[in-house]
């Protein structure tokens, strides 16, 4: 067997036509393995000895369904294909003839014109989309009429992902592609082929991402960073039906913002943070290979980093000493600037003579930023224990504020710990120039108009009219969490119950524990750090 075409299908009304196309236009020893992922739709799949059907009563998700199909394959190559695609004549033979064992290959992509809506009374025709209530011209009944034709314009051969790891088309790079076999930085997750051995070696459908999301970025990064190549074969084509209009013309799998966020966070952990064990090259190597890549052009190759520590000098000595000891232990040559209200022997110290308060905190931050010389600045608060993995992150964009959301709040008296997703200033990291611009403007606004809570504390996290600027924010998750110590002198409010939040979206991911993951019981952690001498 040369090729197994793997089709995960859930509520797919065009599955039968997709399978028919593959069978009708195949010129190699090719089979189709279909996994009905919990819900069937549309006409039955053609009866053919080259088709194997696996029907599941409950959905397991697109990645798991693709893996299940792959486990039933004995072919040299596997091709994952969405259940709403058309293919060109001889697509399989052409790609197999041109294939190399360390490549992942994708045909050039067209859009698929699957059907039109046609009025039974006046024959008014409307392009595919959600089911219309009635004819826009005469009010008559609209019926679906199959077209199933590839639209050869646009022709997509060049794709990329941005610094947030979101898929993007890349028409600018298409002009740089010469010949029939061309490199592409990324791909659409709808159709791609590689050897079955490489599929399993790279864990190309890692179910830790969740059922859906980041498939193109995962395939691209794993192929390139492992030492392979991602090739678009312009001699073969497939056409994909894009269902993005909602209603009964939306995605066959239910989409959840939480699931998409989970997939992107995991993708960033593997590729931005460099934790994928199969990588021979860092992500920066791939960016440099395709440079200039929009949004990635001007980032320093080896960004220097600064820990900007600020304190009101009123913290319990035991907590303050533990935090400082932890920072010194994992400083690793990074610039360390402390900004305090009283002189202290910790890093390069700057004293701001003022009373404790929100406005003073902003001025402390600004003073530290103006003294800093590094490319990237991590805000370091005096009552947060930072894990060393926190400082391994490097912001992928100069125009975005980044927040580490892997942080547990701990009650200093009881040791009770709480996690929920939140973007806090204590987890802020960004390029120094962006932070300087923001805090100079913020301090000026406070001096002229006073501080308003509607302005907020965290840069880039809201779009209210009172915002300081129009820059956005993004998040990441360090490998191990930070510990945000909550005590009786916190400047911000302590909330330990869900009902204390007016907006319940801020309780997403709620977990409670008596030990912090990766650290242990809080009192043991604190005692160990207090007893340790500052190096």
Number of Cβ within 10 Å of residue 3's Cβ equals 26
- pLDDT, residue 255, reads 59
The helix/strand/coil state of 264 is helix
| Other residues' Cβ atoms within 10 Å of the Cβ of residue 414 | 11
Closest to 196 (Cα-Cα) out of 292, 115, 101, 130: 101
Q: How far is CA 43 from CA 11, 19, 115, 259, in A?
A: 11, 11, 15, 30
- Report whether the peptide linkage leading into residue 292 is cis, meaning its omega lies within 30 degrees of zero: yes
- pLDDT band of residue 535 (cuts 50, 70, 90) is very low
Q: Which two tokens stand for residue 21?
A: 């196309």
pLDDT for res 251: 67
Average pLDDT over residues 313-328: 94
- What is the spatial distance between Cα 369 and Cα 272, in angstroms, rounded to a whole number? 25
pLDDT of residue 125: 94
pLDDT per residue as tens digits for the range 85-142: 999 999 999 999 999 999 999 999 999 999 999 999 999 999 998 899 999 999 999 9
Least confidently predicted of 211-220, 273-282, 289-298, 478-487: 289-298
Least confident segment among 364-373, 389-398, 408-417, 486-495: 486-495
Angle of CA points 294, 103, 161, to nearest 5°: 20
Q: Show the beta-strand stretches assigned E in 157-224.
A: 159-161, 167-169, 181-183, 191-195
Domains for the chain: give ranges and CATH numbers. 3-106+157-290 (3.90.550.10), 305-531 (3.90.550)
- Asked if pLDDT for residue 534 goes beyond 50, the answer is no
Distance CA 423, CA 95 (A): 46
pLDDT in tens, 211-262: 778 899 999 999 999 999 999 999 999 999 987 655 666 666 665 567 778 8
Residue 490 banded pLDDT, cuts 50, 70, 90: low
> Residue 433: in which H helix or E strand, if any?
helix 432-449
User: In whole angstroms, what is the distance from residue 421 CA to residue 423 CA?
Assistant: 7
Q: Are 409 and 385 in contact (CB under 8 A)?
A: no
- Determine the Cα–Cα distance for residues 236 and 106; give it in Å rounded to an integer: 9
Query: Is this prediction's pTM over 0.85?
Result: no
């Amino acid at each position: 067997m040369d090729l197994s075409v793997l089709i995960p299908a859930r509520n797919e009304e065009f599955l039968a036509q997709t399978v028919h196309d593959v069978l009708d236009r195949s010129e190699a020893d090719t089979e189709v393995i279909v996994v009905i992922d919990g819900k069937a739709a549309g006409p039955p799949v053609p009866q053919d000895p080259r088709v194997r059907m696996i029907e599941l009563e409950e959905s397991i998700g697109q990645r798991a369904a693709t893996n299940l199909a792959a486990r039933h394959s004995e072919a040299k190559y596997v091709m994952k294909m969405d259940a709403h695609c058309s293919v060109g004549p001889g697509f399989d033979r052409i790609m197999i003839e041109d294939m190399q064992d360390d490549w992942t290959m994708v045909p050039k992509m067209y859009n698929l014109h699957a059907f039109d809506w046609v009025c039974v009374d006046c024959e008014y025709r409307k392009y595919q989309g959600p089911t219309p209530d009635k004819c826009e011209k005469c009010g008559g009944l609209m019926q679906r009429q199959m077209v199933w034709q590839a639209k050869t314009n646009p022709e997509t051969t060049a794709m990329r992902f941005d610094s947030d790891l979101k898929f993007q088309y890349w028409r600018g790079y298409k002009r740089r592609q010469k010949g029939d076999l061309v490199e592409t930085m990324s791909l659409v997750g709808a159709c791609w082929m590689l050897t079955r051995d490489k599929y399993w070696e790279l864990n190309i459908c890692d179910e830790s991402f969740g059922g859906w999301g980041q498939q193109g970025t995962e395939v691209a990064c794993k192929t390139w960073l492992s030492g392979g190549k991602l090739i678009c074969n312009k001699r073969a084509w497939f056409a994909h039906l894009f269902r993005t209009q909602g209603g009964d013309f939306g995605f066959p799998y239910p989409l959840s913002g939480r699931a998409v966020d989970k997939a992107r966070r995991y993708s960033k952990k593997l590729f931005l943070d460099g934790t994928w064990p199969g990588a021979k090259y860092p992500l920066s190597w791939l960016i440099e290979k395709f440079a200039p890549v929009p949004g990635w052009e001007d980032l320093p190759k080896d960004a220097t980093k600064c820990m900007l520590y600020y304190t009101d000098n009123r913290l319990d000595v035991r907590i303050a000493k533990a935090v400082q000891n932890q920072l010194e232990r994992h400083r690793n040559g990074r610039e360390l600037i402390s900004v305090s209200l009283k002189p202290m022997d910790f890093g390069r110290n700057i004293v701001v003579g003022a009373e404790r308060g929100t406005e003073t905190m902003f001025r402390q931050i600004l003073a530290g930023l103006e003294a800093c010389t590094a490319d990237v600045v991590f805000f370091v608060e005096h009552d947060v224990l930072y894990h060393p993995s926190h400082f391994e992150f490097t912001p992928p964009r100069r125009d975005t504020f980044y927040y580490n959301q892997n942080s547990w709040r701990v009650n200093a008296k009881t040791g009770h710990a709480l996690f929920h997703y939140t973007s806090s200033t204590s987890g802020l990291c960004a390029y120094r120039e962006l932070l300087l611009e923001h805090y100079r403007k913020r301090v000026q606004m406070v001096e002229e108009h006073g501080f308003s809570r509607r302005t907020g504390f965290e840069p880039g996290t809201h779009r209210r009219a009172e915002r300081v600027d129009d820059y956005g924010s993004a998040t990441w998750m360090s490998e191990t969490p930070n510990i945000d110590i909550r005590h009786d002198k916190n400047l911000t409010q302590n909330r330990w119950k869900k009902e204390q939040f007016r907006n319940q979206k801020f309780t997403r991911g709620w977990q409670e524990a008596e030990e912090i993951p990766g650290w242990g019981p809080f009192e043991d952690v604190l005692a160990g750090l207090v007893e340790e001498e500052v190096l």
